[in-house]
Structure 1
Amino acid sequence: MKLIIQESGKLLGDNIECAYTFYRRLKGLMGKTSLPDGYGLHIQPCKAVHTFGMKMDIDVLHLDGKRVVVGIEHRLPPRSAGTAFKGTSSVVELPAGTLAAADVKPGQLVILEHESPRTTAHRRSTPTFP
């Protein structure tokens, strides 16, 4: 799916995977050595993240139940615990530098644009990160 900031129309990612099951939330991005531009992981429900088991910095976008940005973490390094921002109900993990480059700010609305059912029927349910 695509991740867009409504106010600016900026595209944060065009290949955002979903982690909506217990197993997918548990696995997250662990073991990945890189995260290409345009890729990310939407984790729901989720209050905060950690980067134990990761080998890269990530940006973390914290969203409330209405998909309003309530917190931002820039370049969270491997082997660290993230911040729990008040009101967070889901997070999006993105390549480091994505949020700064798009000038994302708390209070902005995020649009998660799902692909058509025909397109998603051919996708695997596990991440397809290169």
Structure 2
Amino acid sequence: MMQIGQLYKNNQLVVNKVWLAKSILQRMRGLLFRKSLEPDQAMLIRPCSSIHTIGMTYPLDIVFIDAQGIVLKALKNVRPLRMAFAINAYATIEFYAGEIERIGIQRGDYLDWKAA
């Protein structure tokens, strides 16, 4: 069972429900065969420096962070059948499409997951 936590941007709560995928099986499955995320939900996959949306039926916003939680790359509205990666990424956060804009995530921001 995946842990659930919250995501903070520069120490301010920005996402209330974030699943942590850290086992090999959890990371491999990710969001495949799951219903779409909703606003204010996300999945943190760690370790993870690349993702694909093959088999997905909905777009995602994707953020890659380094081991310290610094945003390296933010991709908006990544549609199904795509691949993405970031050099030096330690983890990936998958968001409901539109959340990068709503939260205002930019390269260099500090993101931190905390268990609920």
TM-score, length-normalised on structure 2?
Answer: 0.90
Larger radius of gyration: 1
CA contact (8 A) 2:62 2:92 kept: yes
Could you say which residue in structure 1 is the equivalent of 2:65? 63
SS of the residue aligned with 2:52?
A: coil
Structure-1 residue corresponding to 2:89: 88
CA RMSD of aligned residues (A): 1.3
Deviation (angstroms), 1:114: 1.4
Q: Give aligned-pair identity as a percent.
A: 20
Query: How many residues are paired up?
Result: 112
Q: Which one has a larger percent strand, Structure 1 or Structure 2?
A: 2
Unpaired runs of at least 5, structure 2: none
Shift of 1:33: 3.8
Contact 2:6-2:13 within 8 A present in 1 as well: no
CA distance in 1, matches of 2:100, 2:9: 10
Equivalent-residue separation in structure 1 for 2:13 and 2:43 (angstroms): 17
Deviation at 1:103, TM superposition (A): 1.5
User: What does residue 106 of structure 2 align with?
Assistant: 105
CA distance in 1, matches of 2:62, 2:46: 13
Structure 1 stretch displaced more, 30-39 or 62-71:
30-39
Match for 1:45 among 30, 34, 47?
A: 47
Cα deviation, residue 10, structure 1: 5.2
Matches within 5 A, 1:112-127: 112-115=113-116
| d(CA) in 1 for partners of 2:113, 2:27 | 18
Distance between the aligned counterparts of 1:18 and 1:112, measured in 2?
9
SS at match of 2:25: helix
SS in 1 for 2:106: coil
1:24-82: CA deviations, max 9, x gaps?
00100012342111211110110111001110000111010000001101110011112
- Which segments of structure 1 move beyond 6 Å, counting only runs of 4 or more? none
- Unmatched tracts of structure 1, length 5 or more: 116-130
Q: Supply the distance in 2 between the matched residues of 1:50 and 1:66 (Cα, whole angstroms).
A: 23
- Which position in structure 1 is the counterpart of 2:27? 25
